[in-house]
Structure 1
Amino acid sequence: MLKWIAAAALVATPAVADMVGQVGVDWVGNDIIIEAIADPDVQGVTCHLAYFDRSVIDRLSQGNWFEDPSNSAIECARTGPIRIGDIRRGPKGEDVFSASRSLIFKSLRVKRIYDEQNQVLVYLVHAEQVKQGSAKMSISTVALEPGEALPAR
């Protein structure tokens, strides 16, 4: 019984991001952070996410202490043989990764959408906000080989 509970917890766990790069962009200490995110339900796909990280000096001078910008970029690549687990089908897709971008109201999300007709995994990064949704987004795609595609339903 304990094994099944542990297995269920692992399946429900969102992806974890590993920082692989940090680039300083100005004299006040603002950085661009680059993280690697392995898709937890699609073995063999890794996405690299880049986003802006504000420094303490920038936060103090701008007066907006608790929020980072929505700007981000994503690129996903095949990093090994692809094995697709139980992923959601349909146009809404499912979240692969989420990180807070403000104290309460904003998060950065990576969503996977399976384009069944073209046999492509589409990864979308966007900000989600309670008020005023953000139009800032970026996408990346990973084409599947014939043996990797999910069977038609």
Structure 2
Amino acid sequence: MTIKKLLIVASVALVSFSLQAEEIGSVDTVFKLFGPDHKIVVEAFDDPDVTNVTCYLSRAKTGGIKGGLGLAEDTSDSAISCQQVGPVTLSDKIMQGKSNGEVVFRKRTSLVFKKLQVVRFYDKTRNALIYLSYSDKVVDGSPKNALSAVPIIPWGGK
């Protein structure tokens, strides 16, 4: 397979992951005379393997002419908050730790290489799901990251 075909396949895979997020809103942070302003975007996505867990991501989105054309590289800044929004039942695969460290969300933040990713871990001792968001581009020796924990609690008095 040629490099061009590999890049096309990788781009299609990345787009399919990024379609899971729903934009909730945004705020402008820097005015740009030409093209869209720099923003902080808030998006929501549901864990594809755990029903009733929703994560909210805030991330920087670069504006300007390059940003408007999709050619700019967004900064590595992001935050995450995940919540249980209904009764949660974990699969045996998750409870046994076989899907520990599984990528549940990925969004392209530059034209080719940089991505914002969310990885899910299960803490069996505390019966909690841990969601780690990080940029896969190394910044000053380590990737920027954020963490959210969701304790699995009975829902509706059950």
**Structure 1 letter corresponding to 2:107:** A
Q: Could you tell me how far apart the structure 2 residues matched to 1:133 and 1:96 are?
A: 25
Q: Over residues 61-97 of structure 1, what are the superposed CA-to-partner deviations in whole Å (9 max), with x where a residue is unaligned?
A: xxxx531111000000111111223437269510000
TM-score for the superposition, normalised by structure 2: 0.72
Aligned alpha-carbon RMSD (Å): 2.9
1:124 corresponds to 2:135: no
Q: Could you tell me how far apart the structure 1 residues matched to 2:154 and 2:84 are?
A: 15
Q: Could you tell me how far apart the structure 2 residues matched to 1:135 and 1:24 are?
A: 25
For structure 2, the 5+ residue unaligned runs are 1-15
For structure 1, the 5+ residue unaligned runs are 1-12, 148-153
Q: Considering fraction of residues, name the structure with more helix.
A: 2
Residue 48 of structure 1 is matched in structure 2 by 56
After superposition, residues 30-109 of structure 1 pair within 5 angstroms as 30-57=38-65, 65-85=71-91, 86-87=93-94, 89=97, 93-109=101-117
Structure 1 consecutive aligned stretches of length 4 or more whose deviation exceeds 4 Å: 57-60, 130-134
Instruction: Please say if residues 106 and 130 of structure 1, whose CA atoms lie closer than 8 Å, have aligned partners that are also in contact.
Output: no
TM-score for the superposition, normalised by structure 1: 0.74
Percentage of matched positions with identical amino acids? 37
Q: How many residues align?
A: 131
Instruction: Please say if residues 49 and 73 of structure 1, whose CA atoms lie closer than 8 Å, have aligned partners that are also in contact.
Output: yes
Instruction: Please say if residues 17 and 35 of structure 1, whose CA atoms lie closer than 8 Å, have aligned partners that are also in contact.
Output: yes
